[in-house]
Structure 1
Amino acid sequence: MIATIQKESEIYTARYERHFHHSVEEVWSMLTDNEKLQQWFTELQVVDLRNGGLIKFDMQDGTFIDMKILDYEAFKVLAFEWGEDIARFELSSVNNGCQLTFIETISSFSEQTVKDLAGWHVCLDVIEAILDGRTIASRKDQWKAWYVKYEELLEGLRKAGQKDARSF
């Protein structure tokens, strides 16, 4: 399901909802255990897992970006800097598994915004596939398809001149 995008005060939020048929502990480990994290987001590495801790983003050119952990509660919340924005994972136990809510705050829209929206969408799909013991044939093809959908979503927002919108 495509994310919902809303304006809240002076920022936008993109909200993704996923239900996994796996425990909170299993999903949490996908976000915080570097071995498992590497399976779905090779550029990220948890260095210091705590409120105020550190996650590194490997730019794949020998340089790294330090991203501060802004909110942390084991098995419930992991939020960290994402450029000028914030990437936030929230987990809760539900019948038959775990509810994951991912929220990206977006301070301003740029060409990178659509790439990130499609990228996060595919990342969440890959987490689910890994947990289910499946593979996604081509992450790149998946990303391209979602890129078009998120580009349409943002274009629809621009054309409508809306200050907030829900997925359509």
Structure 2
Amino acid sequence: MNTEPMVTRTLADGQPALWFEMRFDASMQVMWKHLTDPAKLKYWFPCELDILPRVGATVTFKVHRERPVEGTVLEAAKPRLLAYTWDEEILRWALEDDDGGSLLTLTNTVREGQDIARSAAGWHLTLMGLDDYLNERPLGQNPALWDEYVARYEEQFAD
């Protein structure tokens, strides 16, 4: 399945947020492994991520040549829900059974003033990369598409 995520600008607990929904041809259990196993995350997540999916556990984000950033697991209910902080943002991953596959909903609560179009483009390409990885295709995180997606979301989110 080579679909794109549906992306909406919204509010989460009164804060600006992006809401992504995408169907995958993998079970919730397989998706959970791809959300929590550093050996799988390294292929599709935007940075190196070390996570123990337990409420209160520390999450470590490592970006090449930068100091690691730590977050905290806020919610964890295998294999349906995982939420954690990343700097000033919150990522909330929810999974549902969907006709032999799963429906992933990502809510990205962003900080005030953040360039929401760039965030939307980044997660859009990241989720498509996850789909490519799950389906053993070359990763479709083509940097040449970056400007195209940023422009798309600037137009979509224009006030």
- Per-residue displacement from partner, 1:55-104 (whole Å, max 9, x unpaired)? 21113225100011111111111111122221110011121210100111
What TM-score, normalized by structure 2, do the two folds share? Answer: 0.87
The aligned residue for residue 26 of structure 1 is 30
Structure of higher CA gyration radius: 1
Q: Is the 8 A contact 1:10 1:107 kept in 2?
A: no
The aligned residue for residue 62 of structure 2 is 58
The aligned residue for residue 15 of structure 2 is 11
CA distance in 1, matches of 2:6, 2:39: 28
The aligned residue for residue 131 of structure 1 is 134
1:8 CA displacement: 5.2
Partner of residue 154 from structure 2, selected from 151, 155, 158: 151
> Runs of 5+ in structure 1 lacking a partner?
158-168
Structure 1 counterpart of 2:81, one-letter code: V
Q: Would you say 1:119 and 2:122 are equivalent positions?
A: yes
Do the aligned partners of residues 31 and 93 (structure 1) sit closer, same or farther apart at CA in structure 2, a change above 3 Å counting? same
More helix by share: 1
CA distance in 2, matches of 1:32, 1:60: 20
The aligned residue for residue 53 of structure 2 is 49
Number of residue pairs aligned between Structure 1 and Structure 2: 155
Percent of paired sites with the same residue: 25
Do the aligned partners of residues 10 and 124 (structure 1) sit closer, same or farther apart at CA in structure 2, a change above 3 Å counting? same
CA distance in 2, matches of 1:28, 1:40: 14
CA distance in 2, matches of 1:99, 1:8: 19
CA distance in 2, matches of 1:90, 1:126: 18
Kindly report the root-mean-square deviation, in angstroms, between the aligned alpha carbons of the 2 structures. Answer: 1.9
